[in-house]
Structure 1
């Protein structure tokens, strides 16, 4: 779909209203340049534009595909293809929406093919039309306007990512467990965003005097504007790289918090099992005594008939195992304590790490 098409000459827009690709291509011979803007065009529409402007078939194929990284290609007919990745933060979903802009740049025309909702260029066109001194510089001015808007749109995304990371960071370093899935999601978004930002530095460097000369020369009056965009992009690149590193640290810290919490649960379970084991150990001999005296042998039934016999055999039979068990446990604890004290007094008697023969470990 053609969003807008305009012919610019002497810093002014020469045409208002709709214009088809054939008429736009014919106006290229009248001086100045034509800016044709397309949004998610179909194969037939792209084929029509290609036939009108003589675009390379590989360039058109690149414009139809969706790329993970920005790039710049130069063709023998003097046309450049610059592919940019756009980004926008969605507050409701707390995710980054991405888009793509393919820019066909030549001396007398500029064709932009937008993919995705995060690739709006109306602001870039309006801003450029308010600066006729830049429009007089030629078609390279449109590339500056597009790059400037794309890079400026990165700043809110960086700010929103910072806010999300700070929330996760505060949760993790307060000792609470943060959702690991959310940290992975943020790390993936930061990585995808980095792929959109970092390669764009190479694209921008081509427009500067120190870089490889592009097919469409950058006028000297536009160089300060391209350098300004390059400086902003460097700052965004550094911030996104720092966010990736910080998210890696937060993920490691969250895993450590999860491990600490799991250890606490294991300790509580161990303490519970210890109490249950003690109770079972105490009641095991008592159950044996009760079961023994509960047998209906004539001697037991006939000889335990008075209070004294009941206290001696019944109650005594229950108390005696408890006393013996208590004494055995106390003796075992005392023996363990004496052994630890003996090892502390004679550390040289401790075995080495190579087995029971006392061979020193390597």
Structure 2
């Protein structure tokens, strides 16, 4: 099944009859003195090579398009631009940024897009430009601007999703909950990935604007590109701030976790000390009660030959001995703070 989603030729910003196939697109554009705009979705290697042969694309750019998984970049091969973009969308249910990959070839009279993910919706970009023929009439650079604008606009929901999750993490840090280190770490990875996708856009747009005079880019398009650059700068700034916040949050979480651990150790120590004091008190009273019990036990033995059994003062002396030993032990334990 052919990956060619749309194949159109525009003259003065208006769509003309579609070419029969990819191989006749550029020929139709030249015959009509217009611009060909081809959109491919997950094409095969053979389809990319057919596109390269039709529009004489540079072998290095074709190699990158075949390999995929490229970083965001802008490269010029003669009069053809090769642009790699990393569109993104935020999956709130998974707290994950989902990245796509979009390759754009921009020549003097053609634009070819190779999309490897659902996002961005280039059909919406095409419809928007077809409704503004005065903008589409400015040529391939207008299509590139519209694609860049769509990709940068789609970063806004990602920024909002990341910001919401960071707010939740900040609340969790100080609500006495358990450590949120894992969530912070996972979100930091998403922010770093998003930063790698968005940060090169600033330099790419600045390079386009620097070359606008040399390549006679329409002045109105230059203003539009500056607007996209402003949005890209805001996204880059926010992403950098998110990364700093998460790094600080990870430090704070580690500090709070250490503090919670110290508090727990202190509570365990205090509980141990309290338990030790309780053991001391029990042992002291056991010793105090043991002394009179010992005396009573000795004199309770039923032996006929025992000293002092017939002594008149034996009974009161035994009682006095029991009480005296008890008070003596009580005093000793009080001095040692066992009681």
Which stretch of structure 1 is more off in the superposition, 315-324 or 41-50?
Answer: 315-324
Moved more, 113-122 or 161-170: 113-122
Name the counterpart of 1:39. Answer: 41
SS at match of 2:118: coil
Which residue does the alignment assign to 2:263?
A: 264
Residues of 2 paired with 1:113 and 1:136: CA distance? 22
Alpha-carbon separation, structure 2, partners of 1:216 and 1:39: 29
SS in 2 for 1:207: helix
Provide the rounded CA distance (Å) in 1 between the counterparts of 2:147 and 2:61.
Answer: 19
Q: Distance in 2 between matches of 1:41 and 1:188?
A: 30
Matched with 1:48 is: 50
Alignment of 1:183-332 (within 5 A): 183-208=184-209, 211-212=210-211, 217-283=216-282, 320-321=328-329, 323-329=331-337
Classify the secondary structure of the residue corresponding to 1:55: coil
Which stretch of structure 1 is more off in the superposition, 134-143 or 41-50?
41-50
Deviation at 1:11, TM superposition (A): 0.8
Tell which deviates more after alignment, 320-329 or 185-194: 320-329
1:123-142 CA deviation, whole Å, 9 max, x = no partner? 11111111111111111111
Aligned to 1:95: 96
Distance 1:115 1:314 in 2: 96
Match of 2:132 in 1: 131
1:108 shift after superposition:
1.4
Change (3 A) 1:224 1:308: farther
Q: Output aligned runs, 1:119-158, within 5 Å.
A: 119-158=120-159
d(CA) in 2 for partners of 1:63, 1:253: 43
- Classify 1:11/1:212 alpha carbon distance in 2 versus 1 (closer, same or farther; 3 Å): closer
Match of 1:15 in 2: 17
Structure 1 unaligned segments of length 5 or more: list them.
Answer: 331-362
- SS state at 1:189 partner: helix
Quick check: 1:197–1:237 contact (8 Å CA) kept in 2?
yes
TM-score (structure 1 length as normaliser)? 0.79
CA distance in 1, matches of 2:71, 2:94: 24
Q: Give me the whole-angstrom Cα distance separating, in 2, the residues matched to 1:309 and 1:111.
A: 117
Given that 2:95 and 2:187 are in contact with CA atoms closer than 8 Å, whether structure 1 keeps it comes out as: no
1:265-321 deviation line (CA, Å, top 9, x unaligned):
112111111122223344556778969x88xx9999567999878867778767655
Alignment-derived partner of residue 4 in structure 1: 6
Using the alignment, how far apart are the partners of 1:160 and 1:72 within structure 2?
28
Which has the greater radius of gyration? Answer: 2
Query: Do 1:177 and 1:257's aligned partners in 2 also have CA atoms closer than 8 Å?
Result: no
Q: Relative to structure 1, is the Cα distance of residues 217 and 42 closer, same or farther in structure 2, using a 3 angstrom cutoff?
A: farther
- Tell me the alpha carbon deviations over residues 21-67 of structure 1, each in whole angstroms, 9 at most, x when there is no partner: 21223224222221111111122221222222222222122123344
Q: Please state how far the C-alpha of 1:256 moved relative to its aligned partner.
A: 2.1
CA distance in 2, matches of 1:58, 1:260: 56
**Residue of structure 2 equivalent to 1:345:** none
C-alpha contact 1:38 1:113 (8 A) present in aligned 2: yes
Question: Are the equivalent residues in 1 in contact too, given 2:70–2:84 (CA < 8 A)?
Answer: no
Q: Which runs of 5+ in 2 are unaligned?
A: none
Q: 1:111 to 1:216 in 2, by over 3 A?
A: farther
